[in-house]
A and B are shown apart, each in its own frame.
Chain A
């Protein structure tokens, strides 16, 4: 019955602890609306047939409403509506009140991306990892205009407002990947401001957190299309977003944000950060921190300056001139990265300098005045 209702109303799956209660009220109101409509239109149809005009000289009796009827007209809906309101407000208070033991995640919205930061360190763009069965409190703000964090499967939504923190919370009930959308119109790429919440089982969450604490791969999890996601049968985010017309999607993707911002996203989405760290820690590949302009010693013994040319070459033909001390494991991105994307990655790498740590640190609410034009 529950499933029948949910499916016939096209409601998404119920993945949070509040979703079921919200839906039950949905069903009650929709059903009542249909019953009410059936009664009113049934009565109207009866009148249309029974009292149809038979001749141009029909005389009608004067029927005047009595106070009793009017009180009935007011009383019945008023009582019903107040009951609904009571139930709804009860749930609403629950939605607005995070449990004290909730885990905090900071969410910074920005044209047009979602950035998630955990107090203990790791941050990610586009992917929010949370444990199943534990309340998560989101502290939202925006760096430019008003955005709204919306997860249909959780039945929650909260505006992110520049210069202010707002909050919401949820508790996921089953592992999986859930779509996050921006629900407050925020400009050109409003409809592309998507992200996902990946809910991990307790064991997976612990493993992930442990890895994060080791500080090995700060941004590894920003990659939205890891193999584990394909296994679970959930389409990768890119596929979901650009399912319609890949070439257009690609074009618009290339236009998003400033070059470093695009590079940051690309690095996450193309899996660069699985091997390259951005905070100086050693990993499978050379760290990107301070990489630009660094003199690198190659396996052949010669040295090379890591400039645009060399970095591009390393993306396209990674084995040709390999930095000493690293295994030849990087795949070629020839034909996979467009020129604009390479530029974006380069610009991103250029911004990764020791003096500027903001790419790996949580940022407060920064509002960039846009000017009046």
Chain B
């Protein structure tokens, strides 16, 4: 592999062709919007992380440790709201999807560049309203806003509901934009069977976003209407049904898990191929399983309600359908691992995150099967087992893939290399820290520790201490990453055009890319991640 020298890089890039603040704020360049989303979601991660650390410190001792119960209840609500809606949902699609998806398709930009910019400002507005709500009063309902508690809670829930409602529009717009882009802006040679798997997952995700997010919007509006206007939709004393909220909420929020996880799976596929220098083992199965997950994901919401009094038969149906998601996930896991076979594997940091991802997804998925098994869920429902399960599968997946993507595409985005050893140390710290944080929580759940508990029986303490220790490691790892990435922006070695010798299509353009991605129209003559042909990286 001839790694091109730095001299091969374009002189004028999307970063330096215009440098005023105005040129950034009013940009219609999908790459700049992607970078702005990246900054936004990293702030959200920081905020959610601070809440998480506060929670873990509070739980160090069985009784009160550093905060009052009300503060604690607000903290876990805000941790959930921030992490789910401000970080995990937009993290990969809006930041990395925006950046690489058009390049991968050989397009100059997304289909609706102005709408793309609007989507960022809508995200910003919704986030600011949510943060304002947090600072003003801070809901104590949990991120699920279950009625009737959310309609009678003494805290001010409405601004946060409205903030999330607004963010929903950003999600829908981004989804529409990506779907249109994939359909209309593919360059010559980009057949449907050549579309990179990352694009496939973003496409699948966009479908979920467009279909499911309106339901979330509706249910949040209804809760707000009940709080402000006293409508009797969920309030039984006024003829409402409190469980109706759960149906509507999970009709969005279960597919939302796949809004978070599918793009992560796309990143993992790209990274596995690049670092094992191999084509994906089963392209069609991996692409198809994406849509399997997206489709079946809509029919599993009832598995959140096995103990809510819904019909036994209904629980059975939702249980079986939930297991199908695990099947589609299993296909992906097997294909990733099979891809390693016969490769030329370089265990660089992104691939390390992939291993972390597969580990977490594996156990997150198997425990998911366990909680879809109706009789077992009765014991585990709403306990720390579930907390650990969804942190493994959803947070673990998003975080690992987010960090893998950040490292894999860092040279692409900023034209700089990060320090290899520091990043390796940070990756090990984060993977180990994550496991130490959440493994004890599975055991706590087995013991019967319900989630959202401010106080707990003394015999559970040492597992909590272990969990907090893991969280501290995680925080340390994130600090390390923040330091060396910021350092590399200025002092990092200049990256070659194709820093990893990848055959992903996004490396056809420069690193960083020129303003409209390509100086001449690209042509796609080979399959994505085809390593059987020798090829020099090219900059169109």
Contacts and interface: CB of A to CB of B under 8 A. Distances in A.
Contacts of B331: 70, 73-74
Given A25-B376, A91-B375, A371 B69 contact: no
Secondary structure at the A interface, as helix, strand, loop or mixed, is: mixed
Contact of A29 (B70, B309, B376): B376
A372 B315 CA distance: 33
A153 B447 CA distance: 9
A12 B448 contact: yes
Given A73-B285, A144-B148, A243-B458, 20 more contacts: A9-B443, A10-B444, A33-B363, A43-B340, A51-B276, A51-B340, A59-B344, A60-B343, A62-B531, A63-B279, A69-B281, A70-B282, A78-B327, A88-B373, A88-B374, A156-B379, A161-B243, A181-B450, A241-B455, A243-B63
B373 A372 contact: no
A191 B151 contact: no
A335 to B, nearest CB: 23
B337 interface: yes
Interface string A67-93: 001100110011001101101111111
Interface in A216-254: 240-245, 248-249, 252
B458 A60 contact: no
Contact of B373 (A47, A85, A145, A146): A85
B49 interface: no
Contacts of B534: 59
Interface residues on B, range: 35 or more
**What are the nearest 6 A-B pairs in CB distance?**
A163-B236, A152-B448, A370-B152, A244-B63, A65-B282, A58-B344
A40 B337 contact: yes
Interface stretch (B117-125, B316-324, B472-480): B316-324
Nearest to B315: A92
Contacts of A161: 242-243, 308-309
Interface string B300-342: 0000001111001001100110010011001101110110111
A60 B443 contact: no
Given A60-B531, A183-B383, A242 B63 contact: yes
Given A51-B343, A187-B149, A157 B381 contact: yes
Given A57-B1, A65-B282, A179-B448, A37 B363 contact: yes
Contacts of B309: 158-159, 161, 164, 166
Contacts of A51: 276, 340-345
Contact of A88 (B142, B236, B237, B376): B376
A48 interface: yes
Contacts of B242: 146, 161-163
B373 A65 contact: no
A166 B346 CA distance: 57
Contacts of A25: 373, 375-376
A89 B281 contact: no
A93 B312 contact: yes
A53 B345 contact: yes
Given A82-B323, A163-B242, A11 B375 contact: no
B433 to A, nearest CB: 19
B279 A92 contact: no
A48 B148 contact: no
A69 B282 contact: yes
B3 interface: yes
Contact of B369 (A81, A95, A367): A81
B142 A185 contact: yes
B462 to A, nearest CB: 11
Contacts of A73: 285, 330-331, 334-335
B70 A248 contact: no
Given A144-B152, A183-B450, A157 B455 contact: no
B7 interface: no
Contacts of A183: 381-383, 450-451
Listed residue (B320, B373, B501) with the most chain A CB atoms within 10 angstroms of its CB: B373
Interface in B337-391: 337-338, 340-347, 355, 358-359, 362-363, 366-367, 369-370, 372-376, 378-379, 381-383
A154 to B, nearest CB: 9
Contacts of B346: 52-53
Nearest to B231: A372
A177 interface: no
A186 B152 CA distance: 11
11 contacts: A47-B337, A48-B347, A64-B283, A85-B320, A87-B373, A88-B376, A89-B374, A146-B146, A146-B148, A157-B307, A185-B149
A239 to B, nearest CB: 10
B483 to A, nearest CB: 29
Interface string B223-264: 000111110000111100111000000000000000000000
A101 interface: no
A371 B446 contact: no
Nearest to B456: A191
A368 B373 contact: no
B323 A56 contact: no
A54 to B, nearest CB: 7
Given A52-B345, A367-B237, A372 B376 contact: no
B235 A369 contact: yes
Contacts of B308: 159, 161, 166
A14 to B, nearest CB: 11
A137 B77 CA distance: 34
A90 B374 CA distance: 9
Given A92-B316, A150-B450, A63 B281 contact: yes
Nearest to A153: B448
B160 to A, nearest CB: 15
B307 A158 contact: yes
